[in-house]
Amino acid sequence: METSPAMPPHRLDPAGGCPHAGNARLLARGAVTPVELPGGIVGAAVLGHEALREFLQHPDVAKNARHFTALREGRIAQGWPLLTFATVAGMTTADGADHRRLRSLVSRAFTPRRAEELRPRVEELTESLLDALAVAATAGGGVADLRRHFALPLPMGVICELLGVEAGFRDRLHRLSSRIVATDTEPAEAVAANRELLAVLGEIAAAKAAAPGDDLTSALIAAQDEDGDRLSPQELIGTLVLMIIAGHETTLNLITNAVRALCGHRDQLDLVRAGGASWADVVEETLRWDAPVSYFPFRYPVRDLTLAGTLIPAGTPVLAGYSAAGRDEAAHGPDAGRFDVTRPARPGSVRHLSLGHGAHYCLGAPLARLEATVALERLFTRFPGLELAVPDAELSPHAGFVGNSVRALPVRPAP
């Protein structure tokens, strides 16, 4: 990407960290900024709310990696930590009619109606995990890691049940997903994790092909669109990769971030308990204020694109800066950094973009919202005195700059 001496690329730390202070500094430079990705690859990040909204639905922006200049020219190493985001076969790397075909084969399982039908199972699983959280706290002297014992197994359990994945695979799938999402993974480890994940999902798909069940993986294997097209083997595995990773990592971070926000803003928690706002409001404000995804890879301008006064050359890998857009004062006002569950969306705008916008809007948004809403309501009903067991400032940030959360959330789940 062409830059001037006054605007050198900002180097994104592969190890990650809390993004908000850095986002504020970058937003002061502009709504769009050049960035240096791992391996010295120059890209861009769209940080401003309105710029991101325009970018996510711009007709001259594509998702297919054939538009990625550095990849096409052979400048991306096999173990590049972001390679899976660029090359996995499926909805997230498809455009136009191909994207619509893939999305239509999956979308019926993720409609708001289908999500609501899952509510009883989500509630049942939530209650069992709250029991497990209490047991873990007893064993830990009154302290338990809410992320490990509650925020992770809920969405992982739901997506794996939907896909028909046996419980024995779940810890392994989460471990591999975490390595792939992390941007500080060493090249050899990234290659090994990707191969192992593909092998595991291939094993699951082969078992479903041989003995179909009443699950989404079996349905995807059998699904045809109106023209008789099916998912190719690569598209099937790519779709499973997408649903496993996006189906639990995002909601895991969302629940973790919401609990952390409420524990740090007891007045907002009291407001919800008093009926002044809903648990759904908590979810939406968390999505804005502490987005579960910070920088999501990739989109590519198919021709030179000027956005918010900044030139992004064709073929540049561009990150969607969801966490920055959520606290953009130009869109959300001078108090954008304040957690406020009563905050309304601006007239003619949207409250946040953290689940995407346009044709690639998150297919699993209804399910993520359901899981998070049920989880928060039941958690704080069961443990109204729940509090962080360590000061918030001592929590270790999530690895990498894609996901945004903390590695662990030790809490005291007091009744």
Q: Which pLDDT does position 5 carry in this prediction?
A: 36
271 vs 268: CA distance, rounded Å: 5
Helix (H, G, I), strand (E, B) or coil at 90: coil
Partner residues linked to 321 by β-bridges: 295
Residue 356: φ, ψ to 5°: 95, -175
- The end-to-end CA distance of the chain, in Å, is 54
375 vs 127: CA distance, rounded Å: 9
Report pLDDT digits (tens) over 339-376.
999 998 776 678 899 999 999 999 999 999 999 999 99
Tokens describing residue 264: 């740090």
Q: Which pLDDT does position 2 carry in this prediction?
A: 40
For residue 411, give the nearest of 384, 382, 390, 381 by alpha carbon. Answer: 390
Q: Which pLDDT does position 345 carry in this prediction?
A: 74
Question: Which residues, at least 6 apart from 66, have a Cβ–Cβ distance to it below 8 Å?
Answer: 72
| CB 356 within 8 Å of CB 381 | no
Regions of the chain where pLDDT drops below 50: 1-5
Q: Which pLDDT does position 380 carry in this prediction?
A: 98
Report pLDDT digits (tens) over 131-180.
999 999 999 999 999 999 999 999 999 999 999 998 889 889 999 998 88
Tokens describing residue 410: 């030790």
Q: Which pLDDT does position 4 carry in this prediction?
A: 39
Question: Which residues, at least 6 apart from 214, have a Cβ–Cβ distance to it below 8 Å?
Answer: 164
83 vs 71: CA distance, rounded Å: 9
Q: Which pLDDT does position 348 carry in this prediction?
A: 67
Q: Which pLDDT does position 1 carry in this prediction?
A: 46
Q: Which pLDDT does position 66 carry in this prediction?
A: 96
Tokens describing residue 23: 């986002």
25 vs 222: CA distance, rounded Å: 49
Amino acid in the structure at residue 164: G
Q: Which pLDDT does position 393 carry in this prediction?
A: 92
| CB 282 within 8 Å of CB 258 | yes
Q: Which pLDDT does position 3 carry in this prediction?
A: 41
Tokens describing residue 123: 């509630």
Q: Which pLDDT does position 226 carry in this prediction?
A: 57
Cβ-count burial of 396 within 10 angstroms (0-12 exposed, 13-18 middle, 19+ buried)?
Answer: exposed
- For β-strands 41-46 and 32-37, DSSP reports them as antiparallel
Q: Which pLDDT does position 220 carry in this prediction?
A: 87
238 vs 98: CA distance, rounded Å: 14
Q: Which pLDDT does position 227 carry in this prediction?
A: 63
Q: Which pLDDT does position 414 carry in this prediction?
A: 84
Q: DSSP characters for 110-169? A: GSHHHHHHTHHHHHHHHHHHHHHHHHHHHHTTT-EEHIIIIITHHHHHHHHHHHT--GGG
